[in-house]
Amino acid sequence: MVFVTRRERFSAAHKLFREEWNDEQNFDVFGKCSYPNWHGHNYILYVTIKGELNPETGFVVNIKKLSEIIKEHVISKLDHRNLNIDVDFMKDTIASTENLAIAIWNVLEPIINLLGVHLHKIKIEETENNFVEYYGS
Amino acid sequence: MVFVTRRERFSAAHKLFREEWNDEQNFDVFGKCSYPNWHGHNYILYVTIKGELNPETGFVVNIKKLSEIIKEHVISKLDHRNLNIDVDFMKDTIASTENLAIAIWNVLEPIINLLGVHLHKIKIEETENNFVEYYGS
Amino acid sequence: MVFVTRRERFSAAHKLFREEWNDEQNFDVFGKCSYPNWHGHNYILYVTIKGELNPETGFVVNIKKLSEIIKEHVISKLDHRNLNIDVDFMKDTIASTENLAIAIWNVLEPIINLLGVHLHKIKIEETENNFVEYYGS
Amino acid sequence: MVFVTRRERFSAAHKLFREEWNDEQNFDVFGKCSYPNWHGHNYILYVTIKGELNPETGFVVNIKKLSEIIKEHVISKLDHRNLNIDVDFMKDTIASTENLAIAIWNVLEPIINLLGVHLHKIKIEETENNFVEYYGS
Amino acid sequence: MVFVTRRERFSAAHKLFREEWNDEQNFDVFGKCSYPNWHGHNYILYVTIKGELNPETGFVVNIKKLSEIIKEHVISKLDHRNLNIDVDFMKDTIASTENLAIAIWNVLEPIINLLGVHLHKIKIEETENNFVEYYGS
Amino acid sequence: MVFVTRRERFSAAHKLFREEWNDEQNFDVFGKCSYPNWHGHNYILYVTIKGELNPETGFVVNIKKLSEIIKEHVISKLDHRNLNIDVDFMKDTIASTENLAIAIWNVLEPIINLLGVHLHKIKIEETENNFVEYYGS
């Protein structure tokens, strides 16, 4: 078993809030992240897959192919977008990094399985001080 | 003459567009940065001052004081905000990194002069691949 | 289960030595780290917690609250301090990064449990080339 | 159990190709990595060991000793070398990062066992976007 | 005057040697960089331009256009290539970082002038410890 | 004219205080940096030299030679040492990053002149948020 990780980046806007709460309640829970007119981040995404080595290529997976899959199914939908408004797989969820990691896992896992390897981890860095990791349910 | 630099960070939303252009014209010039529902960045700001060494303290400037000034006059107005909507010193300008650097220079220069040193450079990193530097007009 | 990590930093002095050894013995084992007049590092601390997602907030834990806990119980005691002299939870131990990671685990684990989540890992980078990880006994 | 990691670096040339394939086949699988006249990378190697704490030193392992072992048995053979031509432990394998990680594991594991600790992980960063991890078979 | 910098990356092989010197002389001057079978680096290139702000766009230069120019004229010729063999603008020069910076300046300067701005600096990082800057003759 | 920079690192202890001031006065000016039992940093030093290209080598200066000079005259005296106590060229000065940059300039400039090139800049990063640059008097 070898683990291979691809890093991709996207810049997006979001805010954290619940429609059914008023501004004060939202600020109590989400702080500055609840400010009404959005803010944003340079998110860094790490996709880790695991699998057996293919002795013919020396690869677990063709990382160029892996990068194309991530770009087509994830980055193209997130980059320069608003996580609360524009992203089909984030509809009806709070745009937290945790929910984003789970949603990206759910998008990528069946597609990566088709390559004959397994998705191992989704890691998202929101800022240089905060990051989230998800290994599937 | 010694140069001292303080790094500060802020996360903000913005988009690049001109009201008087239609979506196609805006996309032609600004590309993905013109998408309507905003995107955002983890901006990194470097403020460089220059001055003579104070032999009593070994400092050009007290960097804790410098940090407080940057936070009070700049970061508190930009962090978790929308550069196009929320920021008084960015009113009526395109929210480009170039304009942001000039605007921050204009805010900070008179205040830093009061410390008896000179503002030398404003540098802003928008992404890990793009940054802007401004040394005053 | 989702894993959330907060990065915090502190600058501290230390040295590695055993009182009952002479300088030569200490140098044999600890090398330059045993020099008598201290040296220091910009330590980087990563605290990783794990837990279930709260569907109301999209958080495993409020990371602002997590940061406040780390600052109050750990960073405020280590930052700009001497690990061998000033830190109550490092008394009578060698000020190695390994011992520091275990000590920080022991300080934080009961407090983080009160938040309804579990401490998963303490990681400390001492230099850009050396780091230590601890997952509890 | 505590985990200790040492980072080391080496700069090497390589290419990815199979002798029995023609240029077109190699380009189909390996892309630009198959270009005939070599390319190269600043590889970053992380060696993680695990073990019990020695209460006398506060160390799991003397990291200076660990660094010397990695330099003698791995870095001295890879640095400023060609992975396809010059490296005894890479003979007859495709010079992929995956194969390199496994080969370094096989070189280091028996030597690190002699220190009374266990090799836990070999991680190699080939570029800022691609890395591989291996935990043994 | 505002300064705008674009970062691009390329991975290449090279060695440092003079044909008319024997191996010993080459090793005396160039050390490990003269090893015969090549080595390589992940080079990081920073291209800084300077110019007046265009008030209509808030840009000095369209950084997407600048990136395309650098990729077409420089990166496409260097990436996954051998600096000594494959690169037309490095013919008959020693493949040092200094010469590479000057050669890239000479390629880019006339093209960037056509954009109505000036090339200010070429910076190349060869490793995390060594970099070169060139501002034109 | 080409500019070449070498990065070196050292870990040192220091504190900021004036003997003739009491603790309260020192804390007023120097804050946490005045704590009595020292703290420390992983300092990063960048030494930039400028000169003409030697057409025979493609070098402005042999960077291996430059690194050896910096290590012999600067790093060996600072690394794992106390800036206030152990360092001959820091005697009778406040151990600020500004003073350290000037002192390193004064040590290195005459030695680097002997190589036929000029010292251009000393840059020291004290933390990831603070750095100082000195270009000579």
CA C97 to chain centre: 7
Could you count the other beta carbons within 10 Å of the beta carbon of residue B27?
Answer: 15
Contact between chain C and chain D (3 or more Cβ pairs less than 8 Å apart): yes
| D42-71 average pLDDT score | 98
Q: Which residues of A touch D (CB under 8 A)?
A: 1-8, 48, 53, 56-60, 62-64, 67
Q: Which residues of C touch F (CB under 8 A)?
A: 9, 11-14, 32-33, 35, 37-42, 79-82, 85-86, 127-128
| D40-63 average pLDDT score | 98
The alpha carbon of residue F80 is apart from the nearest alpha carbon of chain C, in Å, by: 5
> Best residue in F2, F5, F47, F75 to probe E by mutation, most E CBs within 10 Å?
F2
Tell me which chains share at least 3 CB pairs under 8 Å with chain F.
Answer: B, C, E
pLDDT band of D137, cuts 50, 70, 90: confident
Contacts of residue B106, defined as CB under 8 A and 6 or more positions apart, other chains included, come to B89
CB burial class (10 A; 0-12, 13-18, 19+) of residue C19? exposed
* Active-site amino acid positions of C: 33, 80, 126
Task: Note the pLDDT tens digit of each residue in C48-79.
Answer: 999 999 999 999 999 999 999 999 999 999 99
- Catalytic residue (choose from F52, F80, F109, F133): F80
Q: What is the pTM of this model?
A: 0.98
CA distances from C100 to C33, C84, C95, F81, F82 (A): 15, 11, 7, 21, 21
F2-14 vs F81-82, strand pairing mode: parallel
- Give the amino acid at C132: V
Residue F62 to residue E95, Cβ atoms within 8 A = no
To the query of whether residue F80 is one of the catalytic residues in this protein, the response is yes
User: How big is chain A, counted in residues?
Assistant: 137
Residue C81 to residue F128, Cβ atoms within 8 A = no
What count of CB pairs under 8 Å joins A to B?
A: 73
From D42, D39, D41, D59, select the one nearest D50 (Cα to Cα).
D59
Contacts of residue C123, defined as CB under 8 A and 6 or more positions apart, other chains included, come to C45, C46, C48, C101, C131, C132, C133, C134
- Closest-CA residue in chain E for F46? E129
For each of chain A's 137 residues, which pLDDT tens digit applies? 999 999 999 999 999 999 999 999 999 999 999 999 999 999 999 999 999 999 999 999 999 999 999 999 999 999 999 999 999 999 999 999 999 999 999 999 999 999 999 999 999 999 999 999 999 98
Task: Give the sign of the dihedral formed by CA E32, CA E37, CA E41, CA E46.
Answer: positive
Residues B124, E121: Cα–Cα separation, whole Å: 17
Residue F94 to residue B57, Cβ atoms within 8 A = yes
Task: Note the pLDDT tens digit of each residue in E23-76.
Answer: 999 999 999 999 999 999 999 999 999 999 999 999 999 999 999 999 999 999
pLDDT band of B137, cuts 50, 70, 90: confident
pLDDT band of E126, cuts 50, 70, 90: very high
Strand partners, C10: C43
The share of chain F scoring above pLDDT 90, in percent, equals 99
